[in-house]
Amino acid sequence: MIIDVHAHLGWDQVFDEDFTLVEQLHKHDTYGIEVTILQPASCHGLEEVRKQHDAIFAAMKAFPGRFHGMANPNPHLPDTQYEQEVRRCVEEHGFIGIKLHTFAHAVHPASRDGLKVFELAGKLGIPVMVHTGAGIPFANPSNLIPVAERFPEVKIVIAHCGMMVLAGETITAMRCCSNLYADITWTGGFLIRQWVRELGAHRFLFGTDHADNTGTELAKIRTSGLTEEEQAFILHKSARQVYDLFS
């Protein structure tokens, strides 16, 4: 089984990228991906993100079991609007996580608006994925240390592991906080091997970010000197545990 924990659906207002369902289905068919967790592309207003959340829910209904949803409203929305939209996604649509895009929404995880994301996730019992890497100083992985310590019950997924340039901060943060996990997109295979041997494969998850990046991400896992059991955790077992899939 292969579970992709990081994929987008919709038009991205920040990066001018169109993420389509056709690409996702082609990814599934071509590379044997069985499950994808879809999140919106980057958008700012409530109306725009609601449309993208609804499109994700439509994909979930059209292809049961193949897609799950992750909410991603702008944390700078008024508190009531933010919470209502996340709750709508989780309680009405069955979404299984929240995304905090530090770069696209210019939000520090430990800021006033950043903290409300983790507080709400704790109430709902779902993980938070946080963009790291591009977007300094908002996107530094080390920013998550005080947050993870403040919300030890919340599972936090470090997206991209700092995108190489900040990779050192990722392993430092994960050593400090056992509730930090990592989505290994855009991360060197040699680092993954080192980190897995130190912390265990159960802390790392497979993702693609872009559908046309799937082959590269899979090849990286399969050629980095990981054991079959370590690969199995990265490809699906870790995701099942972090996102409570198939329970």
Residue 246 has a pLDDT of 76
pLDDT lower than 50: segments of the chain: none
Residue 247 has a pLDDT of 60
DSSP readout, 48-59? HHHHHHHHHHHH
Q: 131-142 pLDDT, tens per residue?
A: 999 999 999 999
E runs forming strands in 117-196: 128-131, 156-159, 180-183
Residue 143 has a pLDDT of 98
Q: 45-94 pLDDT, tens per residue?
A: 999 999 999 999 999 999 999 999 999 999 999 999 999 999 999 999 99
Q: Give the tokens for residue 115.
A: 């903290």
Bond before 137 cis per omega within 30 degrees? yes
Where along the chain do its domains lie? 3-243
CATH number of 3-243: 3.20.20.140
